[in-house]
Structure 1
Amino acid sequence: MIDAISFSSGTFRYLDQRFLPLKELHIETRDYKEAIEAIKTLAVRGAPLIGASAAYTVVLGLNAYQGEKADFPAYFERLIAEVNASRPTAVNLFFATKKMQAVYDANFEADSLETLFAKMTDEAQKIYSDEVDNCDRIARHGVEQLKRDLAGVLKTRKLNVLTHCNTGTLACCGIGTALGVIRLAWQEGLIERVISSESRPLLQGLRLTAWELEHDGIPFVSISDSSSAILMQRGMIDFAVVGADRITANGDTANKIGTYAHAISANHHCIPFYIAAPVSTIDITLSEGSQIPIEERNADELRTIFGTQVATPTTPVVNYAFDVTPGTLIRGIITEKKAVVGDYVKGLAELFEN
């Protein structure tokens, strides 16, 4: 697998995903503000990857500090606030910064800044490695759920799967969440073909998921986002699995814009629709999806494609980056701990009990 991000000797290295698949551009930086900009501009993207990147960005900010210990608390508060402001919807970002905050809170009084920074760097590395392990476990639980839910189909043939946006190595710190499930299912001989929707306006499905699938030699076809309904109508999709940027206590799920439309079509055609995401994506402080802040991005992302104007600069645009799929449309939420099916309020809460 290609490492979408890495951190070594005080340097954050990331693959700028805005230029894929036509150009592989790896950037190295020691500047935390540059790392924040990479998250804001989607050079680094994908909920789990954003979380790990946020932790590394905090480390870059620590390394940049030149003042006295007495002045550090105010600096650290500003640093965390800047990182938190980079992307409002992906809860993994806040999960990571809270972990970094917890290390600071537990050790600031007793430790020198050098020792404190070393502990926080170790925590950032742990956040990354935990996400790698989470992907492996999510994939295993996902495949087990598919074998249960689609046993009848699997007796006669392999499965065709729809996925949306990008949830693989480029979005995570391992084999991926939804794409990790697909990869393992393919390795076990369960998958015939992947249907990857383009994911307008930034085309993460067409540019990134297709690139990963081609790299792995997994049969796939790319489609426009609006094509999934007719494919379902014609029996060309057996199940769908996508990722998530935030999941509320009742199972409502924010994901890349277009997910909700796929889920509505899947529900109409009685096709299982799954979410694959780490527990860090679940925000049980929110009871339902209407409470999730939805990022609205620059209108030019829709009016232009890779710098080419496709609408007049004065064309009015609504450019939501995410939509919310109600938990009632979701067959199961697959996490690294287990696949939760049915009562999401109870099932998701149980994930936090241990």
Structure 2
Amino acid sequence: MCDTTAGPNEPTASLPRPAPGAAVDPITLEPVDEVEIITLVDNVFDGLLTGDERTRRPPMGMGMVAAPQFEGGRTPAGMLAEHGFSALVRVRRAGRVTTLLFDTGLSPDAMVVNAGRLGITLDDIHGVVLSHGHFDHAGGLAGLAGRRGVRSLPMVVHPGVWTRRRLAVPGRPAEELPTLSRRALDAEGFEVIERRDPSLLVDGSVLITGEVDRTTEFERGMPPPHQAWTGAEWVHDPAVADDQALVVHVRGRGLVVLTGCGHAGAINIVRHAQRLTGVDRLHALAGGLHLGGPAFEPVIAPTVEALTGLAPDLVVPGHCTGWRAQHALAAALPGAWVASSSGTTYHLTAA
């Protein structure tokens, strides 16, 4: 998909610069010629899914691994799936390709193993973006550091990514969630860049939303058991304020919005991206939409209705979207909905 590629020793290609104005003010997002999203980690791997002109599926067998129970001692390996999300984003504009890593999955090894099985070295990554601080999106940072080294590799995060959080379900012992360590990331060599406001990367052609405006009435965030530590007490943390998305404008097509969990709400995120960029057309929405489980089932119907009104060309709900929401989205948007699966590549080009 590329003519020339920015070298991995050019980290400034993906450094953020402050976007003008507050979140409600317009930002000039430069259109791109091509964007490729490779799902490195998702909750599901289905080796029988078929592709099309914009979707490339990996085969069921991605090389051979040791398996002594078989004659010959080997068996084909598929892609790893886990409760986490990670995507590699390649953006081409004016003959130059820049590669960003958006989230890193749950475990230290799934992302790097899957990348290896896809023939991706991860050596050409220009920057890392974390959608938020939950451990199922940041666990693979250890594997990334161990596989390629990350000296001076920019990593864009919201300042709230370091928040201590726990789940305090009534009737059960409270369970504190793993919390990202700024000290550990600095020691590994990541160049951590904290931005609460929107940032423009890759010569102004990739937008990181920063904190998302919450404007819908139905997207109210996490239920009461999700709590954050204030320094003095545990309090309900519905907003997950560090939730942010990655946005690209494909020339002549519209916005491509990539979410991690979508804690801010899928519709809030899309509308926020539209307001920031002044681009009304939604071309594609991919990533976790956090509509799974009883607490979020009431949000499914209004989300589907609003998203249907936006008429996207491609919808790839993954990770924490939940099976009920998947069914509803597939029924409402049969021409746009595509099943997500670890190892799948989505190739979107300008009109």
Q: Same fold (TM over 0.5)?
A: no
- What TM-score do you get using the length of structure 1 for normalisation? 0.28
- The higher-RCO structure (CA 8 Å, 6+ apart) is 2
User: Which protein is bigger by CA-based radius of gyration?
Assistant: 1
Point out the structure with the larger helix share: 1
